[in-house]
Amino acid sequence: MTTTQHRGRLMVGSVLAVLVLTGCTDQGGPQTVPTSSQAPLHEVPCEATGTAARPPTIQATASGPYAVETVVDGDTIRIICNGTSTRVRLVGINAPESVKDDAPVECGGPEASTYLHSLLDGQQVFLSADPGQGVRDRYDRLLAYVWTADGTLANRAILEHGHAEATGYGKPFAYSEDFSAAADQAQKNKAGRWSC
């Protein structure tokens, strides 16, 4: 291959990369990010353990229901997954620490935990995985959006009340714009952790 051919291939590759990154397609326009009602989510790999009826307002791909075994802190719960007690980390949020080993309790941490307890203790939930986040994190926790039996998206509710920040830890997630807007509003209102 000549130097000119090599440069030509690099140029074509660069143009294609820009088109992909900016969302341009051969259909003539940018691809839109799915709204929360259209998000391409997936079921989590656990057999249902609950009996609650699926609310019509939640993702059709949400699996469950699952009985909440316990709330661990402001962004983690436990359910029974295929016969084993399994931690579930709520996708798209990060609550202040309240129970992490070798870490101080952070301002707003106990309140975040208390809020999640009030929302999920004794409840049955439905879960969806986000393909941008993967099914499990490096701590082997399931990563999921968590809906209550009345259709409340717990991940978003925590943000609305100011008990967490919105984050995908550098990875894309389906509700990023919605979650960021909810967190920004809570911060403006100095709700929850934002009053620290």
pLDDT mean values, one per 10 residues, the chain (196 residues): 42 36 33 44 92 90 95 95 95 86 78 95 96 93 96 96 93 94 93 82
Phi, psi of 19 (to 5 degrees): -60, -40
What is residue 32's predicted lDDT score, i.e. its pLDDT?
30
- For residue 73, which of 102, 53, 96, 49 has the smallest C-alpha distance? 96
Distance CA 124, CA 44 (A): 15
Distance CA 123, CA 128 (A): 17
Tell me whether residue 141 is one of the annotated catalytic residues: yes
- Break the chain into its structural domains and give their ranges: 37-195
What is residue 7's predicted lDDT score, i.e. its pLDDT?
40
Sort strands 76-81 and 63-73 into parallel, antiparallel or unpaired.
antiparallel
Of 87, 111, 136, 141, the catalytic one is: 141
What is residue 31's predicted lDDT score, i.e. its pLDDT?
28
Question: Do the beta carbons of residue 84 and residue 64 sit within 8 Å?
Answer: no
Enter the tokens of residue 68: 């909440």
Of 87, 89, 136, 156, the catalytic one is: 89
Enter the tokens of residue 138: 């490096």
> For the structural domain made of 37-195, what CATH number should be given?
2.40.50.90
Distance CA 36, CA 100 (A): 31
What is residue 109's predicted lDDT score, i.e. its pLDDT?
84
Q: How far is the CA of 83 from the CAs of 48, 54, 79, in angstroms? A: 10, 22, 10
What is residue 192's predicted lDDT score, i.e. its pLDDT?
80
Residues ≥6 apart with Cβ < 8 Å to 193: 95, 96, 107, 108, 111, 112, 162, 163, 164, 165
Tell me whether residue 97 is one of the annotated catalytic residues: yes
Question: Do the beta carbons of residue 180 and residue 188 sit within 8 Å?
Answer: no
Alpha-carbon 84 to chain mean position: 22
